[in-house]
């Protein structure tokens, strides 16, 4: 690499760093996440009515909080803990100040022939981070994911970017434990309760990151960002979820 390229690389890296320097202090803590997640899970969301995992990451992808809604760490699918973290990472990683993409928006785009085919393989989960520590601490304030970068890309419902009242992108929320369609509904409600749904724009018809059910019988999404239905009431419920807020 030439000196000129090295200088450009250094300048780009240094100038980009502050934009990702949001930390967990600006985001809900474990108690707030657990409360919002539990409240959202208690609503009618369709799906299987199962308990949930939820994860929040900051703008740099660092895990800030992990929580669950059941009585203990085994009351919801154990595999959904890491999936919730993946979803949080994905929504944060592929959203911008002016454009929010939910994990639900990515489903069709990553299928063969889709505009983002291969995306789901681009950022693997950090396995050493995902499964370290005592499982008894999972979903508590001592969860070993906290403070680490989990990585991973997930491309079905349940991951949403987090925007504050100023429209600043602070990180992502991931929810997992039910059907992917119910996961999206629960994540949406939880984000609204946390007052972090000041979404600036999106690929849905209403310019948000709402889940889009436009996959035809041939398996193709009309707009390229569709998500399959889950054979329950999740789609009808999604039509009546709280509206996103405007940034001030």
- Tell me the mean pLDDT in the region 199-216: 97
- Tell me the mean pLDDT in the region 168-184: 98
For the record, the structure tokens of 204 come out as 């849905």
Helix, strand, coil fractions of the chain, as percent rounded to 5: 35, 15, 50
pTM score, whole prediction: 0.91
- Mean pLDDT estimate for the chain: 92
Q: For residue 19, name the pLDDT band (cuts at 50, 70, 90).
A: low
Task: For 65-74, write each residue's pLDDT tens digit.
Answer: 999 999 999 9
Task: For 72-100, write each residue's pLDDT tens digit.
Answer: 999 999 999 999 999 999 999 999 999 99
Bridge partners, residue 56, by sequence: 65, 173
Could you tell me which of 127, 26, 31 has the C-alpha nearest to residue 85? Answer: 127
Residue % of the chain over a pLDDT of 90: 88
The per-residue pLDDT for 247 is: 83
- By DSSP bridging, strand 169-176 and strand 159-163 are antiparallel
For the record, the structure tokens of 220 come out as 């193709």
Could you tell me which of 157, 244, 237, 248 has the C-alpha nearest to residue 192? Answer: 244
Question: Which CB contacts under 8 angstroms, 24+ apart, belong to 210-217?
Answer: 210/102, 210/238, 210/241, 211/102, 211/104, 211/105, 211/157, 211/181, 211/184, 211/238, 212/104, 212/105, 213/238, 215/108
Who contacts 65 (Cβ-Cβ below 8 Å, separation ≥6)? 24, 27, 28, 29, 30, 32, 33, 55, 56, 143, 146
Residue 11 has pLDDT above 90, yes or no: no
Report which of residues 156 and 7 the model is more confident about: 156
Residue 28 has pLDDT above 60, yes or no: yes
Could you tell me which of 65, 64, 67, 73 has the C-alpha nearest to residue 41? Answer: 67
83: buried, middle or exposed (CB in 10 Å: 19+, 13-18, 0-12)? buried
In the numeric block, the tokens 């054979």 are attached to 231
Q: Domains for the chain: give ranges and CATH numbers.
A: 22-238 (3.30.450.150)
Bridge partners, residue 202, by sequence: 100
The per-residue pLDDT for 21 is: 54
- Tell me the mean pLDDT in the region 10-33: 69
């Amino acid at each position: 690499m030439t000196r000129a390229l090295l200088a450009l690389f250094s300048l780009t890296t240094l100038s980009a760093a502050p934009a990702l320097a949001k930390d967990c202090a600006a985001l809900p803590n474990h108690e707030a996440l657990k409360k919002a997640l539990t409240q959202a899970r208690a609503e009618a969301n369709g799906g299987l009515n199962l308990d949930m995992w939820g994860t929040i990451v900051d703008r740099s992808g660092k895990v800030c909080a992990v929580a669950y809604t059941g009585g203990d760490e085994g009351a919801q699918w154990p595999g959904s803990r890491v999936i919730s973290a993946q979803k949080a990472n994905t929504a944060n990683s592929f959203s911008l100040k002016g454009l929010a993409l939910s994990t639900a928006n990515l489903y069709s785009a990553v299928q063969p022939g889709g505009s983002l085919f291969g995306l789901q393989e681009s950022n693997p989960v950090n396995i050493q981070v995902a499964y370290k520590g005592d499982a008894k601490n999972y979903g508590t304030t001592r969860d070993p994911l906290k403070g680490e970068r989990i990585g991973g890309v997930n491309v079905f419902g349940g991951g949403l970017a987090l925007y504050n009242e100023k429209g600043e992108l602070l990180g992502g929320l991931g929810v997992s434990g039910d059907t992917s369609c119910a996961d999206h509904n629960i994540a949406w409600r939880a984000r609204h309760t946390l007052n972090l749904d000041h979404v600036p724009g999106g690929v849905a018809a209403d310019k948000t990151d709402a889940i889009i059910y436009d996959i035809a019988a041939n398996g193709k999404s009309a707009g390229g960002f569709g998500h399959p239905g889950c054979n329950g009431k999740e789609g009808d419920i999604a039509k009546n979820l709280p509206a996103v807020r405007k940034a001030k």
